[in-house]
Structure 1
Amino acid sequence: MDEARDQARGEASDDARDDAEEGPFDAADRAAEANARHRPVVVGPDVVSRPAGPGTETVHSFLRHLRAKGLDSVPEPLGVRGGIERLRLIPGAGGGEGWFHQHTDRGLTSAARLLRVIHDVGADWTPPPDAVWGAPAIACDDTVYCHGDPGPWNFIWRDNEVVGLIDWDYLHPGPRLDDVAYALRWFAPLRPDQHATHWHHFPVVPDRRARVRAFVAAYGDLPDFDVVDAVTERIRSVIRQRREMADRGIEPQRTWVADGAEDRDLEEIRWIEEHRADLGP
């Protein structure tokens, strides 16, 4: 959903150009190009700058809350000026490099643990009265503030271990499982074998069930849930939000929809459901 993921998709596609089924990777290249045009990011030695959005001030308020409570694994907001937001750079590997760091159990479980810490530390934040959410708020009994896009590309890595979580454009209140289910799709990954090897760069198709269990255990204290149902419903929510944004003419979502992103997601939902017995619990 964001520029880092599309960068990672583009990098993965470079390795897959000679594959017999290169269509999805060509689409990923086009998605990356569309996002770069509409949300250019400038990374300096210490500061990341990019165009601010409607929810930028809300995100900065949340990040300041986390950092005030001692959590330095989220970016330090430096303010907005002239329509440009500035954030302190968290040193480490990100974007497409994240696929490689999360291959190990250490990388996988460190991402789950950081996600849990952020959910716990941020739960007592009081949003500003005019808060603007990057994704629809979800009413629930145990509300946390969800990242909304916690894939390997949005974590910062050092030596196969997570040290940060960036790109909070889809911040919204909701249940913990909203982020966990999203992450499982990309970390397990709950995706076809071709994507696991070419896109995620696993040398062999991983034991997805074992990786799901490791991630859920490292996050800790989640109620029992059906992995396939949770992940497929989370993908459907991505489809709904992308379509709604595209209908309003928002880029790059409009380009993604025009390029067939919904059909590809529905195809992945079918694959997950067909492989239910192999994926969980």
Structure 2
Amino acid sequence: MRLLEGGRTGQIWRDGDAVIRPSGEWTPTAHRFLRHLRSKGFLAAPEPIRITGEGQEVVGYVGGRVCEDLGDPLVGSERMLISAARLLRDFHTASQGFLESDDAAQIWMLPAREPREVVCHGDYAPYNVATIDHEAVGIIDFDTAHPAPRLWDLAYAVYRWAPLSDPANLAVAFDFYEQLRRAGIFCTAYGATVEERRQLPEMICNRLQALIDFMLGSAAAGDETFAEDVEAGDARLYLNDIGYIAEHRDQLRKALS
């Protein structure tokens, strides 16, 4: 077995064509959902294999390169941006029907949001998208999947892929005007409607606030992973980005429309 780098350091392993990772009470629902995706012909998500009695799940390995750095010429390219948006759209389309057809108890890590249009991925960011050359080819880590409007997922995806973070942060690869351009490209490739584009800035802020609330609540309840994230300043970063987006809300809305 080989230890995989990335989130949950030291807890995710690859064994041939399988990945072994921690499971949660939501994992049975996630596995049924992954089987639904495959039944719809969507093969860009992991194949669910089994859930062990030792607090682990086993899923198929999704080939490709995962990278968080949008300054990387491959990950940050316009071609990659377009393919990532189209992959998200195809995923949302394939997710439809699961909520109505699944007759077992549905447990999700994140709370459902109304209207329950699709099953959202919940964390559609570069670090959860497998790529080959300049194309997004796969999606990993379905722990945060949950029912919500498709705009809820699109908002977080645009936030991550533009990305809509203050360029004063040295980790941000693009200036404000390039962020606006990339946000527009993502929305167009996804097929966002005029009304969805109009609502997007506010929805991004709402999505980030929900993430902050969940992080702080989980940390207060004793979840070590979220406690470490809060200690590292992630909640403060999201708060700063809410302020950044709110400050430029009108420009963003104009650019998207």
TM-score computed with the length of structure 1 as normaliser: 0.80
Name the amino acid aligned to 1:83.
Answer: G
Alignment partner of 1:93 is 2:68: no
Unaligned runs of 5+ in 1: 8-31
1:234 aligned residue: 207
Alignment partner of 1:154 is 2:128: yes
Cα offset for 1:180?
A: 0.4
1:199 aligned residue: 171
Q: 1:263 to 1:62 in 2, by over 3 A?
A: same
| 2: CA distance, partners of 1:221 / 1:274 | 23
Cα offset for 1:158?
A: 0.4
2:46 aligned residue: 75
Alignment partner of 1:127 is 2:102: yes
| 2: CA distance, partners of 1:179 / 1:230 | 10
Q: 1:98 to 1:134 in 2, by over 3 A?
A: farther
2:112 aligned residue: 137
Alignment check: 8 A CA contact 2:117 2:149 kept: yes
Q: Helix, strand or coil: the match of 2:224?
A: coil
Alignment partner of 1:210 is 2:210: no
1:84 aligned residue: 56
Deviations 1:184-233 (A, max 9, x none): 111111011144xx42545x776122211111111114351233212111
How many residues of Structure 1 are paired with residues of Structure 2 in the alignment?
A: 245
| 1: CA distance, partners of 2:146 / 2:179 | 28
Identity of aligned residues (%): 33
Alignment check: 8 A CA contact 1:119 1:146 kept: yes
Alignment check: 8 A CA contact 2:165 2:172 kept: no
1:60 aligned residue: 31
Q: Helix, strand or coil: the match of 1:257?
A: helix
Alignment partner of 1:49 is 2:20: yes
Q: 1:164 to 1:92 in 2, by over 3 A?
A: same
Q: 1:98 to 1:191 in 2, by over 3 A?
A: closer
| 2: CA distance, partners of 1:95 / 1:239 | 23
Alignment partner of 1:260 is 2:199: no
| 2: CA distance, partners of 1:134 / 1:110 | 27
Q: Which has the higher helix share?
A: 1
1:164 aligned residue: 138
Cα offset for 1:277?
A: 4.2
Cα offset for 1:155?
A: 0.5
Q: Helix, strand or coil: the match of 2:138?
A: strand
Name the amino acid aligned to 2:233.
Answer: G
| 2: CA distance, partners of 1:93 / 1:99 | 15
| 2: CA distance, partners of 1:279 / 1:103 | 20
1:15 aligned residue: none
Unaligned runs of 5+ in 2: none
